[in-house]
Amino acid sequence: MTASHGGRGRRVTPARAAYTVTFSRLSLLLLAVGAIHHHLVKNGRRVRAGLVVEAGDIWETHHYATVIGYGANAVSPYLALDTVRNIYNSKLISKELNLEEAEKNYIKAVGAGLLKIFSKMGISTLQSYHGAQIFEAIGLSRSVVDKFFTGTVSRIEGLDLDGIAKEILVRHRLAFPEKPIPVNTLEVGGVYQWKRRGEEHLFNPETISLLQQAARNGDYEVYKQFAEKVNIQSEKAITLRSLLQFSERTPIPIDEVEPKEEIFRRFATGAMSFGSISHEAHSTLAIAMNRIGAKSNSGEGGEDEIRFQRKENGDWERSAIKQVASGRFGVTSNYLTNANELQIKIAQGAKPGEGGQLPGHKVDEWIGRVRHSTPGVGLISPPPHHDIYSIEDLAQLIFDLKNANREARINVKLVSEIGVGTIAAGVAKGKADVVLISGFDGGTGASPISSIRHAGLPWELGLSETHQTLVLNDLRSRITVQVDGQMRTGRDLAVATLLGAEEWGISTAALVVEGCILMRKCHLNTCPVGIATQRKELREVFNGHPDHVVNYFTFLAQEFREIMAELGYRTVNEMVGQADVLRVREDLDFWKLKTLDLSPVITKIESPPSVGLYKRMDQDHELDRILDWKLIEASKSALEKADPVSAEFEIRNTDRAVGAMLSNEISKKFGSVGLPDNTINIKLRGSAGQSFGAFSTKGIRFELEGEANDYFGKGLSGAQLIICPDREAKFEAKKNIIIGNVAFYGATSGEAYIRGMAGERFCVRNSGVTAVVEGVGDHGCEYMTGGYAVILGPTGRNFAAGMSGGIAYVYDPENNFSINCNKEMVDFDPLENDDLMRIRKLIETHRKFTRSGIAKIILDDFENAVQSFIKVMPKDYKKVLLKHKAKEQVVPESVSNNIV
Amino acid sequence: MGKPTGFLEFKRELPKTKDSKERIKDYKEIYLDFGEHKILDQAARCMDCGVPFCHSGCPLGNIIPEFNDAVYHKDWDKAYMILSSTNNFPEFTGRICPAPCETSCVLGINNPPVTIELIEKTIIENAFEKGLVQPHIPAKRTGKKVAVVGSGPAGLAAASQMNKAGHWVTVFERDDRIGGLLRYGIPDFKLEKWIIDRRINLMMEAGIVFKTKSEVGKNVNANELMTEYDALILCTGSTVPRDLPIPGRDLKGIHFAMDFLTQQNKRVAGDQFMRKDEILATDKDVIVIGGGDTGSDCVGTSNRHGAKSITQIELLAKPPDERDSNNPWPQWPMILRTSSSHEEGCDRYWSVLTKEFIGERGRLKGLKVVDIKWSVNKKTGKSGFEEIKGTERILPCNLALLSIGFVHPEHDNVIEQLEINVNKQGNVSDIDFQTNIDKVFTAGDMRRGQSLVVWAISEGREAARNADRFLMGEKSLLEARDESLWELA
């Protein structure tokens, strides 16, 4: 490795020393990089040199990411490229290309992988990621970390230099054996798939078949065999919790322990979207969980309304927890109304910082409809929620959702990583009812490979940190703490409870009970057991049954109660947070395990008895004096008999989420159909607070005279929003901002007429609203998937980024729109008759409702003015529409369900 | 894997067999050719599971998804390399293994499983054709000498591996030809014997010495072996057949299956027998007592002899056509199996108890049998049967073949001479394949009780690892069934 002086120097001549020692995995290489980088930083010389790495043991994206994250400016992966050459020369590449192209493809793939990793953290350039050290270390001692990876967190200690050296020697001895090894094949590895002589996996052929057998036959003895294989990992120590044991306490008879029904209501299955898994797999979980008084989770794909009604035999397919993820797929007022819990997904345990991804071929007609999106078009949830850029924003969203369904608990899902305790404290202060700490294990087989092993952290760390932080700040008693991440047995639940959780989520194991055999082909839509697929012929062989799922959770509760009895706990509440009952095992001899220090995890914070250790009181959501109560009062006869009503009110900027609670009442009564347009006519004058018109349903027409703040029309579900400046305003409407940022985020239907300009991210993730506005800021129509946006003025830059559906019409008489548009996913198409009619009608309506000046100007000279309109047409959307036309199929909205 | 959607596009297909009336005219293998392109389609059905149950179900831990993928890509060299890293004799298992890999194949959950055995056979035959299969001559010799007793699949595997590790190996076989049950138990029409010869030649070229007609404990003194050799690996199999000591057992015409089958194999190899010693089914009413694989082999052989009638009777109840609910995937399915021999002509009956051999003038004439009913005692949980009144009858029979299993190895040879401990079942006791005598190891049916060829190979390999470690004083570098190389370093 060399550092070459001189900023411009393109010539890098690495001196490759004559090594006889092979580098082991990444440890030696990464140590060297970190050491040199930090040494130069400490001496103030870092910027004078570039760090070039030439190594044989770099091939996966994560390897590149760590080396760059710890200081390398450039990487020469000689063995990886040699391998490409070898593959090429062995004629294993079926495509026609030459060696140079093959090498370029590999390098391009590395770049794409790195880009994915950067973007997870909100970083757009390599330069920003370089030296940023966005990692946490697990299993490395502080001494090593402080010297070589200064600043990186390492919470449970681990290997020191001697230990690392020992690891390297192991590999060295195999690579340069003293006597010849009569084996001529490389080890199979088994890191990403189970292999017999490879890495240990807790889900292996034995445990999978035991669990399935136990659940299918209702056999508790077989379940116990499964639990034993998972719980007792001994020296293999795959999970942190396997290193812990319970202290001796006075046992009590098991009949004194609270009954299993009390345990059941603390269970949830994790968020797995309809779309990633089949309807059959998804609804089976819901039926089972509903049966036992627990909760299943919709995931982020919306939910088909037919599931909200109970079936004739009493089965209920409705997901008790409805997730609100960054894509806001299918999040309508009715969706939110039909829930016991609303979960805001800040991140996923298994792919933190990333949004979910559903490949296009898995978005069929049904899924497209439920998600209010276009079938065949891939769905990417943007990493951040565009309405959460701060803790205050999160508090706002919690408020919005609480308004949209005040009977539901509001749950915030966080991922286990250093600092999650602080975030959880913020979440508690933001009035969330539940916080979920999600561990790094598990997740779907469709995750990118670098995420599977290298993203997120064990829940043991995040949960203990969260509980301790909440207790320290006396916030613990007002929020429920939930945990998930590859929990499989009652013992896992017990450890989690002692570390601070009072509810638990189980996902993978529940799917295994439904037949999942961990194919890890979820992303290919070929799941042979009908779970992670949308193919009809595969869904037909789905073999899961709610009874099996119920059996499994019954066994979990039983095993958990047995442990409670052993430890002398009558109720779960008594057990929460009693971390001092856990001890590190003394009977583990393996040298690596002895270097760990789990004390930070099993510390019980000292706290006075007044500080609760589990949820004891409700949050004060401050809903008593909101404006919507008045709106609901005024709309009484509309709600009872669908009579048209009208009313006028003053509005102030402390009136937030106006319309959400009223819409909840409408949805409760009238479902997603709502009321006829303008049944409830509300005129408002003044400054509207955040989230004006949030989740507002069909039947409401808000006419706001004044201005509004951010999140205007968030999640709009069919209402009509009209806004124009105050009658006494003297400024020119079309040149001034009248609504804030992130308008219509996740909106699914409705109309809006805005006389004035909008801020940034107008119509981000819009799925079906028709909106007319007179100018927008940057990132207009970002990630839009449906609806129509008519922009009668200038746009900011990066318009239509990620836009995969819907159409935007931009009025561009000055010809400067093109440079502001992100053309990656859209084309500029000529206007057809449909478009002309649509534009005309919308502008006429806009003029009628708002007396817009620019509307009048355009209408007065329509034939000419319309020439200046640009039709922004998403490529994917166009393709799908053409395909439909060719097949003469009915357009998505009217497709019927194909439930087998 | 080769093709993600392969399992949706292609159906399971096996090569056709020769017409059953034609094939009983000889003892050749019964399968017709299968085009290479068809094998590729079959390999494409493999889904490269995230948890390959086949790989777990295979007693050898064959790295199946990888070699399926290699075959799909027509990379036969690589496929052979992968296969041979875990299986010394794929040409045997590829023909006669009952394929626990296939019954645990994930595709088999709701579809016919991947044709793993066929692919295995194709890979190895292809490798032989291409000259890829070379004698494995170790780079360095250790100077240690090992004696392997028994040249069945366990002994051959142990010998192969020990030689690979650099030791000098001598195999002692009491029969006149090498192969144990491979040669003298399995009929030719399932495994032609040139296949064994082909492999033995390679082993000899690699430096392994074979001594036939050498029975350790009889004409070869076991104690001498103990002084001459640094380690012994005993693989004499489980050869004591279970008997049926009912009235009439002394009648002429009642034989153990193995005597019948071995004789036929020798006949095919060119040996000739005295008339009085011949056991032939020609023109006879044959009853095969025992419904397992050995019994099935007797059926096939009897058909080829031109028997008048062949009946196979079994004590246990008729297995279901499909898996029982308490016999779920991926367990070995206890279902009704119909072999190629059955297709050639045979009547089968289950839940039949043989009560007496009926004879005339000292020769077998018939079998007195009765139908039975199985039930489980609710209190003890044990199964038992009772005779169904009125079903007693006599089945005509002049040749009865007893194929009711093997109980344990013969004790009156090396076991006796060296005073090797045996357990309750009569099998050799061991700890990690090592007997009560430090330098004496054991593998195969001799240790496990009667089992499959694939298990024997696996046993031979594992015993070799343990013996290698014993000889060298450090962990063996031979491939393990379950341990990774990392653990050895």
A326: pLDDT strictly greater than 70:
yes
Kindly indicate the confidence band of residue A894, based on its pLDDT and cuts at 50, 70 and 90: very low
User: Higher model confidence: residue A622 or residue A374?
Assistant: A622
Among B160, B162, B484, B487, most A C-beta atoms within 10 A, so best to mutate, is B484
Quote the pLDDT of residue A178: 79
Q: Least CA distance to B66: which residue of chain A? A: A188
The answer to whether B381 contacts chain A (CB < 8 Å) is no
On chain A, the residues whose CB falls within 8 A of the CB of B56 are 196, 204-206
Could you give the CA distance from residue B44 to residue B41 in angstroms, rounded to a whole number? 5
What DSSP assignment string belongs to A659-708? THHHHHHHHHHHGGG---TTSEEEEEEEEE-TTTTTTPBTTEEEEEEEEE
Residue A168 in this model has a pLDDT that exceeds 90: no
Q: Report the chain B residue with the minimal C-alpha distance to residue A542.
A: B110
Distance from CA of A453 to the nearest CA of B (A): 15
Q: Does A196 sit within 8 Å of B482, measured CB to CB?
A: yes
A767 contacts: CB under 8 Å, gap ≥ 6: A328, A329, A371, A372, A373, A746, A747, A748, A749, A784, A785, A786, A787, A805, A806
- Which pLDDT score, from 0 to 100, does residue A354 have? 55
End-to-end CA distance of chain B: 31
Q: According to the model, what pLDDT value does residue B488 have?
A: 63
Q: Minimum mean pLDDT among A121-125, A837-841, B448-452: which range?
A: A121-125
A325 pLDDT band, cuts 50/70/90, is confident
- Give mean pLDDT, residues A295-314: 91
Compute the average pLDDT of residues A73-85: 94
Domains A2-175 and A264-319+347-384+408-485+494-544 share a fold: yes
- What integer is the mean pLDDT of B58-82? 94
Query: Which pLDDT does position B474 carry in this prediction?
Result: 87
Confidence of residue B427 (pLDDT cuts 50, 70, 90): very high
Q: Where are the domains of chain A?
A: 2-175, 264-319+347-384+408-485+494-544, 644-886
CATH number belonging to the domain at B6-130, selected among 1.10.1060.10, 3.40.50.920, 3.40.50.300, 2.40.50.140: 1.10.1060.10
Long-range CB contacts for residues A251-254, cutoff 8 Å, separation at least 24: A251/A565, A251/A566, A251/A567, A251/A568, A252/A565, A252/A568, A252/A569, A252/A570, A253/A565, A254/A561, A254/A562, A254/A565
- Looking at residue A355, its pLDDT comes to 58
Other Cβ atoms within 10 Å of A81 Cβ, number? 15
Give the C-alpha separation, A376 to A363, whole Å: 5
Indicate yes or no: CB of A518 within 8 angstroms of CB of B50.
yes
Per-residue pLDDT, averaged over B132-146, amounts to 94
Distance from CA of A169 to the nearest CA of B (A): 8
* Residue contact B484–A518, C-beta within 8 A: no
- Predicted confidence at residue A877, as pLDDT, reads 86
Tell me which residues of chain B, numbers 116 to 175, contact chain A at a CB-CB cutoff of 8 Å.
136, 138-140, 164-165
With b for 16 or more beta-carbon neighbours within 10 A and e for fewer, the A818-846 pattern comes to: eebbbeebbeeeeeeeebeebbeebbebb
Which residues, 6 or more positions from A817, have their beta carbon under 8 angstroms from its beta carbon?
Answer: A794, A795, A799, A810, A870
Do B485 and A519 lie within an 8 Å CB cutoff?
Answer: no
Interface test with B, best of A185, A533, A540 (most B CBs within 10 A): A185
Chain A residues with CB under 8 Å of B331 CB are 209
In the structure, what pLDDT confidence band is assigned to residue A895 with cuts at 50, 70 and 90? very low
Looking at residues B405-414, what average pLDDT do you find?
A: 94
- Does the CB of B365 have a partner CB in chain A at under 8 Å? no
A295 or A454, which is more confident: A295
Describe the crossing of helices A833-850 and A853-860 by its angle, rounded to 10 degrees: 140
- Per CB-CB distance under 8 Å, the chain A contacts of B110 are 528-529, 541, 543
Task: Determine whether the interchain pair A206/B56 forms a contact, defined as Cβ–Cβ distance below 8 Å.
Answer: yes
Output the pLDDT for position A371: 80
Given a contact cutoff of 8 angstroms between Cβ atoms, the answer to whether A673 and A706 are in contact is no
Written out in words, the top-level CATH class of the domain with range B243-404 is alpha beta
Closest CB from A173, A188, A208 relative to B63 = A188
Q: What is the pLDDT of residues B234-280, one digit of tens each?
A: 999 999 999 999 999 999 999 999 999 999 999 999 999 999 999 99
Question: A423-447 pLDDT, tens per residue?
Answer: 999 999 999 999 999 998 877 767 7
Check if the beta carbon of residue A429 is closer than 8 Å to that of residue A336: no
Q: Residue B45: closest CA among chain A residues belongs to which residue? A: A528
Q: Tell me if A812 sits within 8 A of A868, measured CB to CB.
A: yes
Which of chain A's residues have a Cβ under 8 Å away from the Cβ of B8? 526, 535, 537-538
Instruction: Note every long-range contact of A793-799, with CB atoms under 8 Å and residues 24 or more positions apart, other chains counting.
Output: A793/A734, A793/A735, A793/A757, A793/A854, A795/A820, A795/A821, A796/A760, A796/A820, A798/A822, A799/A872
What percentage of chain A has pLDDT greater than the value 90?
73
Cβ contact B50–A174 (<8 Å): no
**Chain A residues within an 8 Å CB radius of B329:** 209
Domains B145-239+407-487 and B243-404 share a fold: yes
Query: Residue A197 and residue B61: Cβ atoms within 8 Å?
Result: yes
* CA distances (Å), origin B198, targets B30, B88, B403: 20, 13, 30
Q: How confident is residue B297, by pLDDT bands cut at 50, 70 and 90?
A: very high
Between A and B, how many residue pairs show a Cβ–Cβ distance under 8 A?
A: 134
Best A196, A519, A537, A543 member to test B by mutation, with max B CBs in 10 Å, is A196
Mean pLDDT of chain B: 94
| Sequence-distant contacts of A141-150: CB under 8 A, at least 24 apart | A141/A595, A144/A31, A147/A35, A147/A38, A148/A30, A148/A31, A148/A34, A148/A35, A148/A38, A149/A34, A149/A38, A149/A70, A150/A34, A150/A38
Whether pLDDT at A590 is above 90: no
Of A428, A490, A468, nearest to A266 by C-alpha is A490
In the block, residue with structure tokens 């239509």: A800
> Cα(B304)–Cα(A296) distance, rounded to whole angstroms?
64
Of A197, A445, A521, the CB nearest to B480: A197
User: Using the beta-carbon criterion (under 8 Å), do B489 and A174 form an inter-chain contact?
Assistant: yes
pTM of the model: 0.91
Residue of A170, A204, A445 lying closest to B489 (CB–CB): A170
Q: Under DSSP, is residue B197 helix (H, G, I), strand (E, B) or coil?
A: helix
The Cα of B91 is separated from the nearest Cα of chain A by a number of Å equal to 20
Worst-scoring range by mean pLDDT, A19-28, A160-169, A210-219?
A19-28
**What pLDDT was estimated at residue A300?**
84
Best of A195, A199, A529 to disrupt the B interface (most B CBs within 10 Å) is: A195
- The pair of structure tokens assigned to A674 is 């709502």
The beta-carbon neighbor of A185 closest among B8, B82, B164 is B82
Whole-number Å distance between alpha carbons of B260 and B244: 16
Render pLDDT for A238-278 as a digit per residue (tens, 0 to 9): 899 999 999 999 999 999 999 999 999 999 999 888 888 99
Question: What is the Cα–Cα distance from B152 to B159, expressed in whole angstroms?
Answer: 10
Q: What angle do CA A682, A683, A684 make, to 5 degrees?
A: 115
Classify domain B145-239+407-487 by CATH number: 3.50.50.60
Second-level CATH architecture of A264-319+347-384+408-485+494-544: Alpha-Beta Barrel (3.20)
Looking at CATH, the fold of the domain delimited by A644-886 is given as Pectate Lyase C-like (2.160.20)
CA-nearest residue of chain B to A94?
Answer: B73
> What DSSP line would sit under A259-277, residue for residue?
PHHHHHTTEEEEE--BTTB
The DSSP code for B252 is B
Question: What Rg value do the Cα atoms of chain A yield, rounded?
Answer: 29
pLDDT tens-digit map of A530-582: 999 999 999 999 999 999 999 999 999 999 999 999 999 999 999 999 999 99
Q: Chain A partners of B162 at a C-beta cutoff of 8 Å?
A: none
Is a pLDDT exceeding 90 seen at residue A382? no
Nearest CA of chain B to the CA of A158: how many Å?
20
Closest residue of chain A to B70, computed from CA coordinates: A92
pLDDT tens column, A633-654? 999 999 999 999 999 999 999 9
Q: What is the number of other CB atoms lying within 10 angstroms of the CB of residue B276?
A: 5
- Give the pLDDT band of residue A128 (cuts 50, 70, 90): very high
If one compares B307 and A362, the residue with the highest pLDDT of the two is B307
Give residue A9's pLDDT.
37
Chain A residue with the nearest C-alpha to that of B83: A185
Q: For chain B, what are the domain ranges?
A: 6-130, 145-239+407-487, 243-404
| pLDDT band for position A899 (cuts 50, 70, 90) | very low
Average pLDDT of chain A, as a whole number:
90
How far apart are alpha carbons A740 and A763 in whole angstroms?
12
pLDDT above 60: residue A130: yes
Instruction: Please list every residue in chain B whose beta carbon sits closer than 8 Å to the beta carbon of residue A186.
Output: none
Which fold, A2-175? TIM Barrel (3.20.20)
